[in-house]
């Protein structure tokens, strides 16, 4: 579960939410609640936790871009080329049924064998 949260980046959302709650509480001590909310979300008054979160997200983006750079340079045209299949040669290898062959008229042995010869060897 923790790996999923980290891979989706939800840890940043959790930390940012905690920072906003802390900022609203902090700013509401000196001003009204409406002013505290507007200061929190105006982007001009970031707290220290907001700055750490912003740096962490930037570093994470930079690492993701460095990891994906070789892939973006790869020529994907070769992968998506269409291939023409010729099934005519495969049809030639399939033997046609022998229409003159006689059907098998023997009955199975009685009593029927309980295990196959392959089962005896195993």
pLDDT at 98: 74
The C-alpha atoms of residue 1 and residue 30 are separated, in whole angstroms, by: 40
Residue 89 falls within a domain, yes or no? no
Say if residue 53's pLDDT is above 70. Answer: yes
The number of distinct structural domains making up the chain is 1
Residue 36 falls within a domain, yes or no? yes
* CB of 18 closer than 8 Å to CB of 49: yes
Residue 23: band (very low, low, confident or very high) from pLDDT cuts 50, 70, 90 = very high
Q: Is 88 helix (H, G, I), strand (E, B) or coil?
A: helix
* CB of 19 closer than 8 Å to CB of 45: no
Say if residue 21's pLDDT is above 90. Answer: yes
Q: Which of 30-34, 52-56, 109-113 has the lowest mean pLDDT?
A: 109-113
Q: Give the DSSP letter string of 11-36.
A: HHHHHHHHHHHHHHHHHHHHS-HHHH
Residue 64 falls within a domain, yes or no? yes
Residue 83 falls within a domain, yes or no? no
The 3-state DSSP composition of the chain as helix, strand, coil percent (nearest 5) reads 60, 0, 40
DSSP symbol at 113: P
Residue 111 falls within a domain, yes or no? no
Residue 102 falls within a domain, yes or no? no
Q: Is the pTM of this model over 0.75?
A: no
Show the domain range for 57: 7-69
Q: What is the mean pLDDT of residues 79-104?
A: 70
Residue 29 falls within a domain, yes or no? yes
Residue 85 falls within a domain, yes or no? no
């Amino acid at each position: 579960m923790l790996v999923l949260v980290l891979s989706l980046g939800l840890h940043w959302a959790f930390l940012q939410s905690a920072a906003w709650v802390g900022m609203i509480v902090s700013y509401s001590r000196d001003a009204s609640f409406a002013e505290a909310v507007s200061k929190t979300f105006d982007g001009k008054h970031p707290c220290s936790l907001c700055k750490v979160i912003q740096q962490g997200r930037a570093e994470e983006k930079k690492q993701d871009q460095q990891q994906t750079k070789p892939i973006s340079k790869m020529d994907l045209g070769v992968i998506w080329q269409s291939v023409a299949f010729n099934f005519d040669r495969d049809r030639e290898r399939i033997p046609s049924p022998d229409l003159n062959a006689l059907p098998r008229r023997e009955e199975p042995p009685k009593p029927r064998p309980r295990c196959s010869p392959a089962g005896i060897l195993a």
